[in-house]
Structure 1
């Protein structure tokens, strides 16, 4: 039995190692205090976004997802942006990632968002198999970014 809930203050101790592992996967190293501050900001401001945590029946944390709220002009609608999806290695391929996405879709519907959108690294073939398996459409958009200093 898998349960998924919105992250609260009591979850931060178990969320932190998964956030760190997610960052390590993408070879980035933000300070732990910044990751904690982000999680706390989302708890304090759910209109900005939220984090979901998946747990096994024995409450072992299995994964997390982060969804931010925004608008997208091309759809003329509110969207949820699935910025992070992480499943612990031992739980990959068991439906945890799919369950986090499905829960994210329910939350989007509840908040009036018309779409759930996300990105993944071109070489993250494991995640892409999941996305293909749930019928996600690949976008033709190229992501660009600039650092703000």
Structure 2
């Protein structure tokens, strides 16, 4: 079951966010900072929405969609910035269901596309992404800290 994350269930997704950040070796993970940051995403938020996937009422995965714009296609785009499934629940099609849910959400919100990036060594996730009808970019991703 997929549902939007809200103030009522945000606490349930925090351990998954922490695990996701640990997977990507984020320094100084803070549940307090995560709670404050992710509280901005919800059903009616122009910033985007976070979704939780439940199995037997247990939160086992999440995806977060942020909205942005791109001048190359002069359109609003949805960025699937976070996607994580508890390792115990991988291989059950949960991530694919979340991606498809996020794609539909993006479409309903007027985004021209749903896009995402992943680490080059995240080969498990890439196996799923390569099976989707999504195009794989050859662009390089850069980050410049401010």
Aligned to 2:38: 39
Q: 1:68 aligns with which of 45, 59, 66?
A: 66
Structure 2 gaps of 5+ residues are none
Higher helix share: 1
Aligned to 2:99: 101
Deviation at 1:44, TM superposition (A): 8.8
Q: 2:136 aligns with which of 129, 135, 138?
A: 138
Separation of aligned partners in 1, 2:124 and 2:20: 14
Counterpart secondary structure, 1:63: strand
Q: Over the residues paired in the alignment, what is the CA RMSD in angstroms?
A: 1.3
Separation of aligned partners in 2, 1:100 and 1:45: 19
How many residues of Structure 1 are paired with residues of Structure 2 in the alignment? Answer: 145
Aligned to 2:13: 15
Aligned to 2:113: 115
Structure 1 runs of 4+ aligned residues shifted over 6 Å read: none
Separation of aligned partners in 2, 1:99 and 1:44: 18
Contact 2:61 2:94 in 1 (8 A): yes
Separation of aligned partners in 2, 1:5 and 1:90: 20
TM-score (norm 1): 0.93
Counterpart secondary structure, 1:53: strand
TM-score (norm 2): 0.94
